[in-house]
Amino acid sequence: MFKPEYNSVVMGVTEFRSKVPEVLTQLKKNQKVILMKRGYPVAVLQSYKEFKDKEDFLKML
């Protein structure tokens, strides 16, 4: 069974399409958004800052 992190929002792809402005607000709050399709996770959205921080960290390794 899929268990998201505590600061994640889980929603279906169809719901995402209708709630893009709300999703952008959640991303600004550093929440991850996990997109589900037929009950399975298919994508993760995260803020650009979080993405950039992880990318910079990996470059240091």
Domain coordinates of the chain in residue numbers? 8-60
- Quick one: DSSP state of residue 48? H
Look at residue 59 in the predicted model and tell me its pLDDT.
Answer: 93
pLDDT of residue 16 exceeding 80, the answer is: yes
5 vs 61, which has greater pLDDT?
61
pLDDT tens column, 19-60: 999 888 888 888 889 999 998 999 999 989 889 999 999 999
Q: In terms of CATH architecture, what is 8-60?
A: 3-Layer(aba) Sandwich (3.40)
Look at residue 30 in the predicted model and tell me its pLDDT.
Answer: 82
* 28: phi then psi, degrees, rounded to nearest 5: -65, -25
Look at residue 1 in the predicted model and tell me its pLDDT.
Answer: 61
- The sheet carrying 32-37 orders its strands as 8-12, 32-37, 40-45
